[in-house]
Amino acid sequence: MTDPTPIRFDDGAGYERMMGTWSRIAGGVFLDWLQPAPGLRWVDVGCGNGAFTELLVDRCAPKSVHGIDPSDAQLEFARQRPAARLARFAKGGAEALPFEHGQFDAAAMALVIFFVPDPAQGVREMARVLRPGGGACAYAWDILEGGFPLEPLLAEMRAEGQPPNLPPSAGAERLDSLQKLWTEAGFVDVHTTQFSVQRTFESFDELWEIAMLGTSIRQKMASLPDEVRHRLKERLRSRQAPDAAGRITWNARANAVKGRLKG
């Protein structure tokens, strides 16, 4: 049985080294697919430490960007980013966005949908704060089908009888779930896609160090006896195939959705 301990995001710098890097890699591919127009008013729902927000500022020539997240530590990190020259960050939850109706042209959820306790309400909130004709989009790791960036480690944990903590709404990221969530929230021209990304680590030691910064992994590992952690690490090491320079490349897979409100 999966540990019911909630996954908490309380380390903006650690999140940046682990998931922030993955987020930018995947976010770039996502924006290539999305092809947003310049000059839009964006809201980044569940902005975390601002990794995707910074992509919006750097790549999309937005008129404005508002990032919303429930974690004070993540927001503190986000406010130190260069993106803060334009982006504004505030505390809030996806299910009750602190904005008026029709305030934005575009809404995004980057690696968030499976953390929203009520994903349908979160998507309805995006629709509420969009103007007529505005668009909402999201991408998330295909977590239940092996697409999470740390899947090789998660597989070893499951084999050890220590399954990792899952987000509260795991399954919301499935392509059919995303299609349904967007359609039922009133979006039209709803499209989904799946894409893969890669990240290369200089060595196994670097890979392991960065993996331990993952929020759910760190929480789970802290609860295990030392001998179990050591066994997991060595078994994972033995299953890697580094290149001639000792570098190790891991793959991840994400699902994405986009749709617009009727004008």
In the chain (263 residues long), the average pLDDT of successive 10-residue segments reads 48 70 94 98 96 96 98 93 95 97 98 97 98 98 96 93 90 98 98 98 95 82 90 95 96 98 94
pLDDT of residue 216: 75
CB 67 within 8 A of CB 78: yes
Give the number of other Cβ atoms within 10 Å of residue 249's Cβ.
13
Give residue 219's pLDDT.
80
pLDDT of residue 17: 77
Q: Which tokens sit at 67?
A: 């990032």
pLDDT at 119: 98
Place of tokens 């050890």: 160
- The structural domains of the chain, ordered by start, are 12-149+165-199+254-260 (3.40.50.150)
pLDDT number for residue 2: 41
DSSP state of 22: H
d(CA 72, CA 38): 30
The beta strands (E) that lie in the chain are given as 41-45, 64-69, 88-91, 104-110, 130-141, 188-201, 248-260
- Provide the token pair at 189: 């021209």
The predicted structure's pLDDT at residue 4:
47
pLDDT for res 13: 65
237, exposed or middle or buried, with CB in 10 Å at 0-12, 13-18, 19+? middle
pLDDT of residue 12: 55
Position 213 scores a pLDDT of 85
